[in-house]
Amino acid sequence: MSTLIARTRRSFATHWYAWAMVLPVVVVLAVLVGYPLGRGVYLSFTDANEANIGRVIGDFEVPASYSFVGLDNYWHILSGQEGSFYPRLGWTLAWTASCVFLHYTIGLGLALMLNRRLKGRSVYRVLLILPWAVPAFVAAFAWKLMYNTNNGVLNALLGKVGVGPVDWLGDPFVQKLSVIAVNTWLGVPFMMVAILGGLQSIPRELYEAAEMDGASPWQRFRNVTLPGLRPVSSTIVLLGTIWTFNMFPIIFLVIGQAGGTESEILVTYAYRLAFQGVRDYAGSATYGIVILSLLLVFSVFYRGMLKRQEAAQ
């Protein structure tokens, strides 16, 4: 312990300027991230709700009366007593896997196309990046209008070809397909740009050498392109998984209150617990910590798998 303190003192004396530059960032992160996270962890061990959280009404202060309940909230959720956690978890996993798969495969295809010498390639790039520039809530409302059963553009187009109207946001299964389509439209540009940067960093000499060895286009793609994209792919798949798992605005704004509970993912249900109905702050905080834990476990497992693959090569 004394050795650690001595090293810290020497580091501070030697690099005091760097410490001074880092300190404001540490303080901001502690206020904006550390305190809410710590507060959420604490509430998850209590029975806090709207009735006992405490508040100020005019000049009168109502003290908080919630109590510490230990791991009861976690046991209530993970043991299946609540009855809805595991179905929502299954849909959240399916939502995340399908969206990330579509993001990556479509983004890879578009990146391969734009990496070639095409006439008007710059125009195509700008048009394909536009969905990424649109705020998520704007895109959600625009798609919700297009999904409107009576006056939406999609049903109008289907009517032109003699197909009856589809209840895009009414049927639970179609709801899920609808929000996956919206999130795919929003997420593909990021994958496309990142993969395009990775493609342009692969040396052309590798392709020329493979072509001279008689490799077919598929063999060049499998043995040169995909290995060259591995560093970029590992990062964007991890980021895409985390973002999609927590993609609140698309589910909440596109489906809205009409969707019931079947199409809710974990993060939208956590929001509903905290801000609708009885306002179960403890339950919402517990859901938040469970979501964080799931993503941390996935990230550690995913990075470990990538390291093992790199060591095996």
Q: What is the 3-state secondary structure (H, E, C) of the chain?
A: CHHHHHHHHHHHHHCHHHHHHHHHHHHHHHHHHHHHHHHHHHHCCECCCCCCCCEEECCEEECCCCCECCCHHHHHHHCCCCCCHHHHHHHHHHHHHHHHHHHHHHHHHHHHHHCCCCCCHHHHHHHHHHHHHCCHHHHHHHHHHHCCCCCCHHHHHHHHCCCCCCCCCCCHHHHHHHHHHHHHHHHHHHHHHHHHHHHHCCCHHHHHHHHHCCCCHHHHHHHHHHHHHHHHHHHHHHHHHHHHHCCHHHHHHHHHHHHCCCCCCHHHHHHHHHHCCCCCHHHHHHHHHHHHHHHHHHHHHHHHHHHHHHHHC
List the beta bridge partners of residue 55. Answer: 62
Residues carrying CATH 1.10.3720.10, the chain: 84-279
Query: Phi and psi at residue 61, in whole multiples of 5°?
Result: -105, 125
Report the pLDDT value the prediction gives residue 81, as an integer from 0 to 100.
80
Say what the pLDDT of residue 95 is. 95
What torsion, rounded to 10 degrees, do the Cα atoms 38, 43, 49, 52 define?
A: -100
Higher-confidence position of 60 and 253: 253
User: Which pLDDT band holds residue 257 (cuts at 50, 70, 90)?
Assistant: low
Cα(264)–Cα(176) distance, rounded to whole angstroms?
9
Please give the average per-residue pLDDT across 56-63, as a whole number: 73
Specify the pLDDT at position 313: 63
Neighbours of 70 (CB within 10 A): 9
Which has the higher per-residue pLDDT, 206 or 1?
206
Confidence check: pLDDT of 94 > 90: yes
Find the mean pLDDT for residues 256-263: 66
Write down the pLDDT at residue 1: 58
Domain 84-279 has CATH 1.10.3720.10: yes
Q: Is a pLDDT exceeding 80 seen at residue 254?
A: yes
pLDDT of residue 90: 92
Question: Taking the CA of residue 304 as centre, how many other CA atoms within 13 Å lie in the half-sphere pointing to its CB?
Answer: 6
pLDDT at 41: 92
CA torsion through residues 220, 221, 223, 229, sign: positive
Distances (CA, A) of 54 to 48, 60, 258, 270: 9, 11, 32, 21
Find the mean pLDDT for residues 43-52: 88
User: How far is the CA of 295 from the CAs of 238, 241, 246, in angstroms?
Assistant: 10, 9, 10
Looking at residue 104, what is its pLDDT? Answer: 95
Q: Is pLDDT above 80 for 271?
A: yes
Q: What pTM value is reported for the model?
A: 0.85
How far apart, in Å, do the first and last CA atoms of the chain sit? 40
Q: Which residue has the higher pLDDT, 6 or 203?
A: 203
Note the pLDDT tens digit of each residue in 154-190: 888 888 888 878 888 888 888 899 999 999 999 999 9
The top-scoring range by mean pLDDT among 11-15, 61-65, 138-142 is 138-142
On the question of pLDDT at 258 being above 60, the answer is: no
